[in-house]
Amino acid sequence: MKFLSQLLAPRVLANLLIALDAVFANKIRSLLTALGIIFGVAAVIAMLAIGNGAQQEILNQIKLVGVNNIVIKPIIEQKEEKLNEQASGKKEKRKFSPGLTMRDLHNIISTIPGITKNSPEIILNTHVIRNGLRRSAKLVGVAPAYFEIYDFELADGTMFNEEQMKLGAPVCIIGYAVKSKFFPTEDPIGKNIKVGPHWLTIIGVMNERIVSQTSISKLGIRDFNMDIYSPLQTVLIRYENRDMITAEELRLAAMRSRGMIFGTDQNATEDEKDKKNYHQLDRLVIQVEETHKIQNVAEIISRLLTRKHYEVVDFEIEIPELLLKQQQRTNDIFNYVLGAIAGISLLVGGIGIMNIMLASVLERIKEIGLRLAIGAKKLDVIQQFLFEAILISVSGGIIGVVLGVVMALLVSSVAGIPTIISFMSIVLSFGVAATVGLIFGIAPARRAANQDPIASLRYE
């Protein structure tokens, strides 16, 4: 309270008005002096906005891929051939692998401790038909833990119950976009929708999930809003079970054993078999209880699957959280670099203020001498020049805040990079700008106050 009363004292207000007159009398010079502060503050706000946006993006990606997850995906077997064998028409005998199946999941669960949840998935490209409207979509066969691992929530309806999962009931949960396309004005719960060749009863609608293009491309995440979810057993029984041997495969095997397929026909048949997806599961997610064990568990799973697949490398294992942590580290380094650049800009701006104020002292020696001669105290001169420095830095800080906000919005709209402008970043940058003006204004103010009034009046 005492400080506030001193600040509002007539003498201090008079010094403030004198400083204001001096700043506005040299508008261009004051603006050029404040440029370092302006760009420094703008850089701090824009940098923090980009950093906050990147951090939020990573948190959203972690929610999409789950926490402490190991993702196992089937791939085409990696093979190598000798050129002389290829030229002679001889091919190395193809190794057998059962592919990624539910048996692999049971082996992993029974062998490795510390696994909290698991989510086998079957993804089928299909089409949806209702009321004369047809659209392509994905049918995803899932287990109960799928929605917990990916933090999915229902906008309406219920989840699959144990009986529906076990018996493979013809039910489904639709994505938010499916509801918007096929049920724009009505409640879809309890209604039927044709998915591929079968009719399924809708028991739930998912909340809308906003997925960025970055997540889709880097993490292999699809657009969940156009997916239709059904119990895993439903997909295996009613749609497709690639683990089952078909009559056509038995016929071709019998023909090969009898020598009824020769030469190029045999090679073509084997090539077709290579291209065919023989994996029962399209994705398998294993959630580990403790984060520090993820890498070790992944290595054990790799050795286990390699042995169960008879040394055929037809799967790949990913740890999305480690990728995201590496991305977070890269973003942190980027933010540190930007912060250093912004700090240098503020430092240069402060030095610029000090230099201009020192030059201003030399230009106004007579004015200083006259003020001291008619009764002004050294404290009045110090206050005058300190106020000038602070006014320049504060006005530069205000312009910098506006420029920083505009830059962050432009980056978000033009480059498509998410930015989040926080109130703390504005307060921090503005506070630093005012502090810089105060610190670098002290030396010129003291130099002005220490002038000899008589020598100053004689100065030419």
Q: Letter for the amino acid at 123? A: I
Per-residue burial over 291-315, b = 16 or more CB atoms within 10 Å of its CB, e = otherwise: eebbeebbeebbeebeebbeebbbb
- Cα(400)–Cα(43) distance, integer angstroms: 8
Per-residue pLDDT of the chain (460 residues; tens, 9 = 90+): 444 445 446 767 776 777 777 677 777 777 777 777 888 788 888 888 887 777 777 666 665 666 678 888 888 655 555 545 555 555 555 677 888 888 999 999 998 888 888 889 999 999 998 888 888 889 999 988 888 887 788 888 899 988 888 888 999 999 888 898 888 888 899 999 999 999 999 999 988 876 655 555 555 556 678 889 999 999 999 998 887 766 666 665 566 556 555 444 545 444 555 557 788 888 898 888 877 788 888 899 999 999 988 888 888 888 776 665 666 676 677 667 766 776 777 777 777 777 777 776 666 666 767 776 777 777 777 777 778 778 888 888 888 888 888 888 888 888 777 788 878 878 877 787 778 777 777 777 777 667 666 565 555 5
- Token pair listed for 8: 């509002």
- 379's CB contacts (< 8 A; 6+ apart) are 449
Distance between start and end Cα atoms, the chain: 44
Nearest to 38 by CA among 437, 445, 361, 359: 437
8 A C-beta contact, residue 65 and residue 375? no
Q: β-pairing, 133-142 with 227-231?
A: parallel
Tell me which DSSP letter residue 141 carries.
E
8 A C-beta contact, residue 303 and residue 5? no
- Predicted local distance difference test score (pLDDT) of residue 291: 72
For residue 153, give the 3-state DSSP assignment. coil
The neighbouring-strand residues paired with 115 are: 288
8 A C-beta contact, residue 349 and residue 135? no
- Predicted local distance difference test score (pLDDT) of residue 5: 46
What DSSP string describes 293-336? Answer: GHHHHHHHHHHHHHHHTTT---EEEE-HHHHHHHHHHHHHHHHH
- Cα(369)–Cα(416) distance, integer angstroms: 58
- Predicted local distance difference test score (pLDDT) of residue 453: 61
- Token pair listed for 51: 């950093």
- Cα(307)–Cα(286) distance, integer angstroms: 19
For residue 123, give the 3-state DSSP assignment. strand
- Predicted local distance difference test score (pLDDT) of residue 8: 46
8 A C-beta contact, residue 189 and residue 156? yes
8 A C-beta contact, residue 105 and residue 132? no
Nearest to 63 by CA among 128, 157, 123, 149: 149
- Predicted local distance difference test score (pLDDT) of residue 3: 44
CA 390 to chain centre: 39
Q: Tokens 């592919």 identify what position?
A: 99
- Predicted local distance difference test score (pLDDT) of residue 304: 92
Domain-wise residue ranges, the chain = 9-60+325-458, 76-81+91-242+277-313
- List C-alpha distances in Å: 426 to 31, 47, 70, 417, 429: 21, 11, 40, 20, 5
- Predicted local distance difference test score (pLDDT) of residue 117: 87
- What is the number of alpha carbons within 13 Å of residue 118 lying toward its C-beta? 17
The continuous run of DSSP H or E covering 209 comes out as none
- Predicted local distance difference test score (pLDDT) of residue 44: 80
